[in-house]
Structure 1
Amino acid sequence: MERVKFSVFMLSLISTSSFANGFIDDSKIKLTTRNYYLDRSFTEHNDVIPGTKDWAQGFIFNFNSGYTPGIIGFGLDVQTLTSVKLQGDAKYLPSGLLPTDPQSREREKTASEIGATAKVKYKQTELKAGTLQPWTPVIFSSPSRLLPQTFLGGMIQSKDIKDLELIGGYISQVNHRDSTNYEDLSNIGFNQRFKVAQTDQFSFAGAKYNFSENTQFGLYYAMADDIYNQAALTLKNNHQLNKDLNLISDIRIWNSQENGAAKAGKIDNTLATANFGLDYNNHRLTFSTMQNYGDTAHPYLSGGEVLIFIDGWSTDFLNAKEQVYGMRYDYDFKDYVPGLKFMTRYTKGREIKLAYSNDKHKEDSLDFDLGYTIQSGHLKGLGLRARYAIYDNDFGAKASFKPADETRINVDYTWTFK
């Protein structure tokens, strides 16, 4: 309620004619509709629960104002999110698409929420307060379901120094992808890796520097109070080998330790990822590895993912001691069917240490992704995407991730009104 009152105050302040020029003239208004079907069918340990299955329609409306005139500009962003259940049965686990009663597993038929963000700009420095969607290696607003995950707090970004981008923020609460309520943040506890602990204090800072047009370096740090500290380093580079062949390198390293009262228990993990891709005309072949060092798994906030290239749909490949290797192939049909793209990848994890087992375990996933965006006509921009994954592991019935065949289908379209 306090956020709504503040938003009304900001609108009344900025709507006067003296402020209208930049605020209204530079504003952007968009509505994205997203139709999402997710079916994860367990192939083992499915005698009680067969998997997860939901079909839903989502609406994402964004009003992003410009800034009022003057040395210091003021603005306001408003986002409304709505989900509509098309199919959802309580015999299945929640998929993350729809708000669900935790006891009965009944999905809500419709749900809506509104978020507001006040913003201030001086030169190339922006300060935002309210609803946030940060996109960094240490805190990441997940877009992988029907509606995006959002956070409540404050964030500052600056691009005043050439080739350098600075970011910092303080987060107190999270609104998950399948929820309309803000709550304290918590860490993930998949496969009994950690105790699930809560905090209302998460701070982060980072810098991203472009050494050249083709080389970028990033350094970030975050602290989830009384749960964990985390540092992250990123290095990206594109190297043109010849006129037809391009080498893409992407290296990311995280180091995580328990913090303060250590409510989640011991945390000791260094996660190193390396991805090397070769671009040749419409083809891209990528080789990847991800190594988990230390005594525990990699910690991250619940309700989302980690910003890594190896992105398993039915798992996260972030268990203690896990060694991951993957190969991915992408093809762009732009010369034949513009807008059509295909991806397939195989990822294998081994040497996994689980909290409830003394054995070493393994997992693997074979994924397919086919997407098409209409390029012209009345439906220009309409996106169709189908994904299929075959996931397997030997974790046993206690595992959070179970062997499964998974299908995802999306239909997205965005109307731009201004």
Structure 2
Amino acid sequence: WTLSSDIGYFTATEDGHSKVGNLDNQLAYGLFSAKYKGHTFHVGYQGVYGDDGFLRIGDTLSPLGNELPTYQFSAPDERSWQIRYDFDFAGVGLPGLTSTVRYVKGDNVDTGARGFEGEDWERDLDLAYTIQSGPLKSVSIRWRNATARSNYATDIDENRLIVNYPIKLF
């Protein structure tokens, strides 16, 4: 067995002239995993504290433990939990093939003037293959199916096809 963790804490407040107003955010997360042969099990928790959601520039991705490509789980006062299972098919004779099943559930979201507690969840299924040899070695293709539901944000059903072509620069 191989055990690992990813733990983070962020704090943000206004500085200088406060041109965007008073900012107050703290966020803590922990993502823990246990790997045995081709199986990896993950559990995670993320909590947002303060008056604001996690601060970011534009709609950029962050290193948060429970952030997914569809929902970010970083709204004001949000608590979220994650369970995830990864499988590497190399152990059964299919090197380069991997899969991921992930579920994140969030609640306690401060929806402000709407006056109710926000809740959301997302389920992702990934299937990926990385070419092992030849002129396209290391090129990968990933299919992601995502379903996301919320009582305060847009519901999303999507399929993504992601092609990764690594280029060696140096």
TM over 0.5: yes
1:316 corresponds to which residue?
A: 72
Q: Compared with structure 1, are the counterparts of its residues 415 and 348 closer, same or farther at alpha carbon in structure 2 (3 Å cutoff)?
A: closer
Alignment pair present for 1:411 and 2:163: yes
2:143 touches 2:161 (CA, 8 Å); kept in 1?
A: yes
Cα offset, 1:403, TM superposition:
0.4
Correspondent of 2:139 among 382, 391, 395: 382
1:298 corresponds to which residue?
A: 54
Correspondent of 2:17 among 261, 269, 273: 261
Secondary structure, aligned partner of 2:112: coil
Q: Any gaps of 5 or more consecutive residues in structure 1?
A: 1-244, 396-400
AA partner of residue 105 (structure 2): K
Cα offset, 1:412, TM superposition:
2.9
1:284 corresponds to which residue?
A: 40
AA partner of residue 47 (structure 2): Q
Alignment pair present for 1:248 and 2:4: yes
Please, what TM-score do these two structures have when normalized by structure 1?
Answer: 0.39
Q: Any gaps of 5 or more consecutive residues in structure 2?
A: none
Cα offset, 1:302, TM superposition:
1.1
1:367 corresponds to which residue?
A: 124
Give CA-to-partner distance per residue, 1:21-80, whole Å, 9 cap, x none: xxxxxxxxxxxxxxxxxxxxxxxxxxxxxxxxxxxxxxxxxxxxxxxxxxxxxxxxxxxx
AA partner of residue 277 (structure 1): S
Rg larger for: 1
Q: Compared with structure 1, are the counterparts of its residues 266 and 386 closer, same or farther at alpha carbon in structure 2 (3 Å cutoff)?
A: same
1:346 corresponds to which residue?
A: 103
Q: What is the alpha-carbon distance in structure 2 between the residues aligned to residue 343 and residue 393 of structure 1?
A: 22
AA partner of residue 412 (structure 1): N
Alignment length (residue pairs): 169
1:266 touches 1:296 (CA, 8 Å); kept in 2?
A: no
Please, what TM-score do these two structures have when normalized by structure 2?
Answer: 0.92
1:326 corresponds to which residue?
A: 82
AA partner of residue 403 (structure 1): D
Cα offset, 1:415, TM superposition:
5.5
Cα offset, 1:416, TM superposition:
5.1
Identity %: 30
AA partner of residue 138 (structure 2): G
